């Protein structure tokens, strides 16, 4: 039995609908909303689009094996907000971080979304599932 939500007695209907459509992966709207919440120490980031991420990966010859939906876009922006300019010194390492996170042999294809969802639960951020499909 899948106990992914064993802390809940009832899962909201909109959440069920989202998960039935996308699983634990980012839709375009969910990714855009999640990225809009990101910030660096100095303020909001300039978000990367799917096209920006694809161009960055192509520039450095990086191919993703386990990407799904907008997961890599979320990870690219997460890296930009939290690590770029610190432990990730340049865009080549940025591309490699995306690869390492998405294709982590110890993680599932849903790792990025589950990371985001855990952060939301930890911070008490409400996800309006119905608005983000």
> pLDDT exceeding 70 applies to what percent of the chain?
93
Per-residue pLDDT, averaged over 96-123, amounts to 96
pLDDT single digits (tens) 8-48: 567 889 999 999 999 999 999 999 999 999 999 888 899 99
What is the pLDDT at residue 85?
A: 87
Domain regions of the chain by residue span: 28-124
Q: Can you give the three-state secondary structure of the chain, one letter per residue?
A: CCCCCCCCCCCCHHHHHHHHHHCCCCCHHHHHHHHHCCEECCEECCCCCHHHHHHHHHHCCCCCCCCCCCHHHHHHHHHHHHCECCCECCHHHHHHHHHHHHCCCCCCCCHHHHHHHHHHHHHCCCCCHHHHC
Q: Is the pTM of this model over 0.95?
A: no
């Amino acid at each position: 039995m899948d106990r992914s939500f064993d802390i809940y007695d009832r899962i909201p209907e909109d959440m069920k609908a989202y998960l039935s459509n996308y699983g634990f992966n980012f839709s375009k709207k969910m990714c855009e909303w999640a990225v809009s919440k990101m910030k660096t120490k100095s303020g909001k980031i300039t978000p990367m689009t799917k096209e920006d991420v694809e161009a960055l990966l192509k520039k450095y010859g990086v191919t993703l094996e386990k990407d799904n939906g907008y997961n890599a876009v979320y990870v690219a922006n997460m890296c930009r907000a939290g690590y770029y300019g610190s432990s990730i010194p340049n865009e080549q390492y940025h591309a490699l971080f995306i690869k390492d996170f998405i294709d982590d042999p110890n993680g599932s294809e849903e790792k990025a979304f589950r990371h985001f969802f855990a952060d939301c639960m930890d911070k008490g951020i409400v996800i309006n599932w119905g608005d983000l499909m």
